[in-house]
Amino acid sequence: MDLTALARANPDHWSKATAIRALTLDAVAAANSGHSGMPMGMADVATVLFEKHLKFDAANPLWPDRDRFILSAGHGSMLIYSLLHLTGYEQFPIEELKNFRQMGARTAGHPENFLADAIETTTGPLGQGIANSVGFAMAEEMLRAQYGAKVVDHHTYVIAGDGCLMEGVSQEAITLAGRHKLSKLIVMWDNNNITIDGPVTLSDNTDQVARFKAAQWHVIEIDGHNPDEIDAALTEAKATDLPTMIACKTHIALGHAAQDTSKGHGALTDADQMAEAKKAYGWTTGPFEVPADVKSAWEEIGKRGADTRRDWEERFDKMPRAKRETFNRALALDAPKKMSATVKAFKKQITESAPKMATRAASEKALEVLNPILPETVGGSADLTGSNNTKTSDLGVFDVDNRGGRYVYWGIREHGMAAAMNGMALHGGIRPYGGTFMCFTDYARPSMRLAALMQIPTAFVMTHDSIGLGEDGPTHQPVEHLAISRATPNTYVFRPADAVETAEAWEIAFTSKTTPSVLSLTRQGLPTVRLEHKNNNLTEKGAYVLADAEGKRQVILIATGSEVHVALAARDLLQAEGIGTRVVSMPCMELFAAQDEAYRKRVLPGGAVRVGVEAGMRQGWDQWLFGERGKYGKADFVGMDRFGASAPAEELFERFGFTAENVAQKAKALL
């Protein structure tokens, strides 16, 4: 590349873009790790975007109607950190850039939404950002339909690399966006033909332009170093009624000795080569120094949106008070006042009628009463609507001609659904929940983990939660998936025993602000086990005494979900033999672990043998079976230690020992 010509053609642009490149080189060198090439390659695109198109106000990073900027190629984090510093975000003084990738810095190796207001989502695992962006853009459409274009009217801009586009989830994302004509979604593809292993062509020869067109996108191809072309493309993108992909032909590590090579992808820390690159840029200041005029030009850009924001605030204040309150409440993730009473009434009605019902059906019933009082909920399913019981009567279906619809037919895209739900939650104003079979936790895992890491309350409705699904067989029968979700930090895993616990789980999921929920629900019918009405949400305690021992307590049976009624039946057998038996229902291990020691000991006191019962792997159970550190009793576990099988559910439960007789027998063997 002839850098001199580039600089001469657009000197103001060039100096601004160069500031990004220089800061990137400096920060990566200081950290002695990181990824230099991508920010250097995409600096021109990002500069034009921030200077001329992105609606933002650096002084108000959380302004609700800002455009969203998503760096899907998260390894290029110095691009966003540079931009946030240069435009004057308070959370990004130059010290943050000097501490790139150091303990406690906001400038983590990959952008982390929970470290800074202006970072919309956590990226790095490739494809996540572009898949999140679909949820961002859907949320914008939904909220615009709900509150009007005067208060909700913004774009979602994404920078994605070849890695993002090679990941399968990108296909799920772009086909969703194309299907729903998410015209305010604009993806800028960093088309640099380089991956870590070498040129893209080493592993891929996809015609990306044709691929996006096949997914019903508008596509524009430009030189990613030509500011006029970038500007024109962004203008055109905003004018179309389709989502737009701008293929930006760029040079990774522009101007560096490693330009256009896979070496350029990584940390470019060689001092001489850095000096040469800066010289070629015409950049003469020291490390982390930005010439005052360049910094001030960038800061002007950071203030560019201030008036627009003020105008927005005026318009917002003119909205009817009730609407404003709902808007703010949803944004703050506060529960509506009616929530508690609604759940209590629902529970009371269940306790009184004591239906036999699958917890997936109970979940639908709970959602039927909750969705009407929570206009921020958005439901959906990955093509299992009738099986996941996620659609309630009042939601309406989100579509091109019905943006106010609150139900999404996600198609057979578990991963894309999970990532887009995360995007909705991150956008704000929406509480997403979506369903698939629990076994397909596997497909959604990358985004489920990120929900936990990002501290957002996405709710994953995982039905058909054990061998109890029967004939579909081991490909569809989760056995390790409770353990998988429980092993993940900051995740509530609910396995409710009946409709009462299911409603309690939903109450927690829909009041959670920083923790995602997994609702593990049965296909098969279960009896109601909570036959005494309690106003309190007992699931909130994680575990509680469902039926206490009569006489001397010799056995404690601990069970979850569909095995709770088995434990109750086992208790009947044991009590009939004069063996005092307590049954503890444990719908959420994480919440039980969070209780104080006194409560935990009250529920699980010493002096009795313990048997855990759950149609899943034992992993994670031993802490409850063997008590707190240093105080142990005799214990056993009735669970799965292998994959299931294809057969009717009742036969499988019998075959794998989930019977009252077997549980009672295991308990007696310990006495």
How many DSSP H helices and E strands does the chain contain? Answer: 27, 20
- Of 367 and 439, which has the nearer Cβ to a second copy? 439
- Of 111 and 224, which has the nearer Cβ to a second copy? 111
Give, rounded to a whole angstrom, the gap between the first and last alpha carbons of the chain: 80
Quick check: 286 binds a second copy (CB under 8 A)? Answer: no
User: If phi over 0 gives left and psi between -120 and 50 gives alpha, with beta otherwise, what is residue 464?
Assistant: left
Among 440, 506, 544, 656, binds a second copy (CB under 8 A): 440
- Of 253 and 294, which has the nearer Cβ to a second copy? 253
Quick check: 175 binds a second copy (CB under 8 A)? Answer: yes
Contacts with a second copy by CB under 8 A: the residue count is 114
Tokens standing for 333? 């993730």
- Of 82 and 170, which has the nearer Cβ to a second copy? 170
Closest approach of a second copy to the CB of residue 410, in Å: 6
Residues 6 or more apart whose Cβ sits within 8 Å of residue 31 = 100, 101, 102, 267
- Of 330 and 461, which has the nearer Cβ to a second copy? 461
User: What is d(CA 403, CA 246) in angstroms, rounded to the nearest whole number?
Assistant: 25
Quick check: 171 binds a second copy (CB under 8 A)? Answer: yes
Residues 82-101: x/- map of binding to a second copy (CB under 8 A)?
A: -------------------x
User: For a second copy, which stretch binds (CB under 8 A), given 353-361, 535-543, 579-587, 618-626?
Assistant: 618-626
Give backbone dihedrals phi and psi of 577, rounded to 5 degrees, phi first.
-95, 10
Quick check: 269 binds a second copy (CB under 8 A)? Answer: no
SS3 232: helix
Among all chains, which residue has been given the structure tokens 């049976």? Answer: 557
Residues in 361-420 at the binding interface with a second copy, rule: CB under 8 A: 381, 383-387, 409-416
CB 158 within 8 Å of CB 123:
no
Residues 6 or more apart whose Cβ sits within 8 Å of residue 59 = 88, 90, 302, 303, 306
User: For a second copy, which stretch binds (CB under 8 A), given 274-282, 344-352, 558-566, 620-628?
Assistant: 620-628
Nearest to 609 by CA among 665, 553, 549, 542: 553
Q: Which amino acid is at 199?
A: P
Residues 151-170: x/- map of binding to a second copy (CB under 8 A)?
A: -----------xx--xxxxx
Residue 9: exposed, middle, or buried by beta-carbon count in 10 A (0-12, 13-18, 19+)? middle
Residues 28-57: x/- map of binding to a second copy (CB under 8 A)?
A: ---x-xx-----------------------
Quick check: 605 binds a second copy (CB under 8 A)? Answer: no
Nearest to 264 by CA among 279, 276, 251, 275: 251
Among 178, 336, 496, 516, binds a second copy (CB under 8 A): 178
Quick check: 190 binds a second copy (CB under 8 A)? Answer: no
User: What is d(CA 455, CA 589) in angstroms, rounded to the nearest whole number?
Assistant: 19
Q: What is the DSSP letter of 551?
A: S
Closest approach of a second copy to the CB of residue 394, in Å: 18
Closest approach of a second copy to the CB of residue 426, in Å: 15
- Of 345 and 669, which has the nearer Cβ to a second copy? 669
> For residue 400, how far is the Cα from the chain centroid?
24
Quick check: 123 binds a second copy (CB under 8 A)? Answer: yes
CB 131 within 8 Å of CB 169:
yes
Among 623, 628, 661, 671, binds a second copy (CB under 8 A): 623
Tokens standing for 62? 């959380």
Residues in 470-499 at the binding interface with a second copy, rule: CB under 8 A: 470-476, 479-480, 483-484, 486-490
Nearest to 15 by CA among 299, 283, 224: 283
SS3 326: helix
Quick check: 443 binds a second copy (CB under 8 A)? Answer: yes
- Of 402 and 536, which has the nearer Cβ to a second copy? 402
- Of 26 and 51, which has the nearer Cβ to a second copy? 26
CB 34 within 8 Å of CB 78:
yes
Residues 6 or more apart whose Cβ sits within 8 Å of residue 647 = 470, 471, 655
Closest approach of a second copy to the CB of residue 616, in Å: 9
Quick check: 634 binds a second copy (CB under 8 A)? Answer: yes
Q: Residues with catalytic annotation?
A: 414
Quick check: 197 binds a second copy (CB under 8 A)? Answer: yes
Strands 544-547 and 580-585: antiparallel
Among 122, 132, 392, 560, binds a second copy (CB under 8 A): 122
- Of 230 and 453, which has the nearer Cβ to a second copy? 453
Among 636, 656, 662, 663, binds a second copy (CB under 8 A): 636
Residues 296-315: x/- map of binding to a second copy (CB under 8 A)?
A: --------------------
Give backbone dihedrals phi and psi of 544, rounded to 5 degrees, phi first.
-160, 165
Closest approach of a second copy to the CB of residue 542, in Å: 16
Residues in 510-569 at the binding interface with a second copy, rule: CB under 8 A: none
SS3 211: helix
User: What is d(CA 461, CA 387) in angstroms, rounded to the nearest whole number?
Assistant: 11
Quick check: 202 binds a second copy (CB under 8 A)? Answer: yes
